[in-house]
């Protein structure tokens, strides 16, 4: 099998580069892979219902009273509060960096000394699977690579993209409104270099096979550090070709396939995740023919859930979810409602009408949020993402006259929608902690994304979590409870099918495993601040002779012609309550 994969790698290199260059690159990759070690064993199951990712910066939690590195503080938090409620930790870039909270990497193989060191990361990976970013599109202006480029030192003098500045780059798709071409003062004079994201993040030149080989070497180093999920940051913009939009180019997809091949050789049980914050169908293209990403983000989910609960109307969420095709075999979605970035608006293009997007933007402004813009090819600007802490985003609705008493329940409802859908869920640490908008962080950094990147001081956070009834404690306890219940049920296996039901705009509802499990799960969400009735037997056409049980609280609902009563933002996870013929799965699940 390994020889077959090596042949694929060779073929892909020949598609990307001239024959002689491809041959040299292949020989070097072959050498590096052999040094890393080729693994051949593949587990029978790549993922299951126990897979839940916690997303965190290395320094999301800090200790100002004791000289403990933030990575150690994070591990203490995981051991004290999270335990086995999640099984994977996504450590956002923890390398030395110059900007963008880690995504402008100075050195790919070192840990930022202020965060800790590799043994601290290994301590976390001894308890949890590890997810790491390969920041593949660009590197910091302050890196040694770029320093050597400016000094005209080989091979790095060919690692970046020089453009004389007179070419027409108006077709290039931009995720930012900063200049695409920025000056670099080198030993060869002033040069203009490509910088998709900022003047401090200089794009790498993947037309040079030496760049690809170097990044594969970084990848192999991460594998040696027990990386289980490799996240390809900003991968859509990887390959540049003047006269095109420079996004999703065929060469980019070929590089992703090659990385998949390498990853399968050295870590066959690992997973490749592509980060492409673009409209849904473009995002799905990174599954390829089951030969690219194992996982893609479900980017449309976050803005649609926010919209549904802000409006108290699930029409567009239901319409989208009903049309959502299941992932192809061997691939899956990573579902999330919050991350270190904002809530993307491009993924709802063509799903939400423009008036609904504008209304949502207005509502998030009212709740303290910001809007990041991007530059269109015609030079105009359009909203790219909403910057807001998700817990703050649920402070009120479009119909309320200000904050109401339902913020915690509304927020929990949003998280349970995400946790109910087919795929693997990812929970941001600031969602787990009910973190509010960090306006001080925005003022300190001058960046609107800082609103959702608070650094919690350990002792202050502990006081909140040890308090009597803080929103932080409520949310943490409720989510940990749900996560522990969820992991016991086969209905939440990432491959278990889902069927979205239409119970009217006040509800969102899905079946998981209705055609394949003895005990499928029916998830029902009241999206409003009102008490709602629902005739479940009439709406589903199904009758459980023994009634139903809500596995969230073990509440039993007897067979009856009376409708269910759902409190504001209540969530039901219902399974048939067939206590006289309990299957082994059901017995295990409710223990």
Q: Give the neighbor-by-neighbor strand order of the sheet with 521-526.
A: 498-501, 507-512, 521-526, 571-576, 548-550, 555-557
Tell me how far CA of residue 77 lies from CA of 15, 71, 124, 462, 472, in angstroms: 47, 10, 11, 9, 14
**Spatial CA neighbour of 162 closest among 145, 139, 186, 142:** 186
Tell me how far CA of residue 557 lies from CA of 269, 300, 403, 491, in angstroms: 41, 34, 33, 20
Q: Which residues pair with 524 in a beta bridge?
A: 509, 572
The catalytic residue among 107, 117, 233, 291 is 233
CA 543, chain centre distance (Å): 38
The answer to whether 216 and 32 are in contact (CB under 8 A) is yes
- The residue count of the chain comes to 591
59 carries an active-site annotation = no
Q: Cβ neighbours of residue 534 under 8 Å, at least 6 residues apart?
A: 503, 507, 524, 563, 564, 566
Tell me how far CA of residue 402 lies from CA of 227, 342, 370, 377, 417, in angstroms: 45, 23, 18, 39, 24
What is the SS3 assignment for 537?
Answer: helix
Q: Cβ neighbours of residue 226 under 8 Å, at least 6 residues apart?
A: 122, 125, 130
In this structure, the number of other CB atoms found within 10 A of the CB of residue 563 comes to 14
The answer to whether 283 and 331 are in contact (CB under 8 A) is no
Two structure tokens written together for 376: 């269109």
Q: Where are the beta strands (DSSP E) in 155-292?
A: 162-163, 181-186, 189-194, 201-203, 227-232, 271-274
List the catalytic residues. Answer: 233
């Amino acid at each position: 099998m390994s020889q077959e994969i090596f042949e694929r790698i060779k073929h892909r290199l020949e598609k990307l580069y001239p024959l002689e260059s491809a041959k040299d690159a292949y020989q070097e990759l072959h050498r590096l892979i052999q040094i890393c070690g080729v693994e051949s064993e593949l587990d029978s199951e790549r993922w299951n219902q126990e897979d839940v990712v916690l997303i965190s910066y290395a320094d999301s939690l800090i200790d100002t009273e004791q000289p403990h590195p933030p990575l150690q503080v994070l591990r203490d938090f995981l051991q004290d509060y999270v335990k086995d409620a999640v099984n994977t930790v996504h450590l956002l870039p923890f390398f030395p960096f110059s900007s963008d909270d880690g995504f402008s990497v100075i050195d790919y193989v070192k840990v930022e000394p202020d965060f800790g060191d590799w043994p601290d990361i290994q301590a976390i990976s001894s308890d949890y699977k590890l997810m790491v970013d390969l920041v593949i599109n660009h590197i910091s202006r302050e890196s040694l690579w770029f320093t050597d480029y400016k000094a005209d030192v080989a091979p790095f003098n060919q690692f970046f993209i020089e453009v004389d500045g007179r070419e027409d780059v108006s077709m290039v798709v931009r995720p930012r409104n900063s200049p695409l071409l920025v000056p670099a003062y080198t030993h060869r004079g002033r040069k203009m270099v490509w910088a998709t994201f900022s003047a401090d993040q200089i794009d790498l030149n993947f037309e040079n096979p030496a760049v690809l080989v170097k990044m594969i070497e970084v990848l192999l180093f991460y594998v040696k550090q027990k990386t289980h999920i490799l996240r390809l940051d900003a991968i859509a913009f990887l390959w540049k070709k003047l006269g095109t939009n420079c996004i999703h180019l065929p060469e980019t997809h070929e590089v992703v396939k090659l990385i998949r091949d390498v990853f399968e050789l050295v870590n066959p049980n690992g997973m490749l995740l592509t980060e492409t914050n673009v409209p849904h169908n473009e995002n799905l293209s990174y599954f390829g023919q089951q030969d690219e990403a194992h996982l893609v983000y479900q980017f449309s989910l976050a803005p649609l859930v926010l919209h549904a609960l802000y409006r108290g109307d699930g029409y567009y969420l239901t319409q989208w979810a009903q049309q959502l095709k299941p992932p192809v075999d061997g691939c899956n979605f990573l579902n999330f409602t919050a991350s270190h970035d904002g809530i993307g608006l491009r993924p709802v293009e063509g799903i939400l009408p423009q008036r609904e997007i504008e209304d949502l933007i207005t509502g998030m402004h009212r709740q303290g949020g910001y809007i990041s813009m991007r530059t269109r090819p015609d030079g105009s600007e359009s909203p790219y993402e909403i910057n807001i802490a998700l817990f703050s985003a649920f402070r009120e609705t479009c119909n309320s006259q200000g904050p109401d008493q339902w913020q915690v329940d509304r927020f929990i409802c949003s998280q349970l929608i995400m946790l109910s859908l087919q795929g693997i869920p990812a929970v941001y640490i600031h969602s787990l902690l009910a973190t509010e908008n960090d306006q001080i962080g925005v003022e300190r950094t001058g960046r609107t994304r800082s609103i959702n990147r608070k650094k919690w001081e350990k002792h202050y956070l502990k006081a909140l979590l040890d308090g009597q009834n803080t929103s932080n404690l409520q949310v943490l306890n409720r989510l940990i409870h749900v996560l522990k219940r969820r992991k016991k049920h086969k209905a939440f296996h990432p491959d278990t099918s889902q069927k979205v039901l239409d119970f009217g705009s006040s509800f969102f509802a899905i079946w998981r495993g209705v055609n394949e499990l003895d005990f499928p799960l029916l998830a029902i969400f009241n999206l409003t601040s009102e008490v709602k009735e629902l005739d479940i037997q009439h709406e589903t056409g199904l009758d459980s002779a023994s009634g139903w049980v809500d596995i969230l609280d073990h509440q039993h609902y007897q067979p009856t012609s009376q409708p269910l009563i759902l409190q504001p933002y209540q969530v039901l996870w219902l399974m048939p309550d067939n206590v006289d013929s309990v299957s082994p799965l059901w017995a295990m699940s409710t223990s």
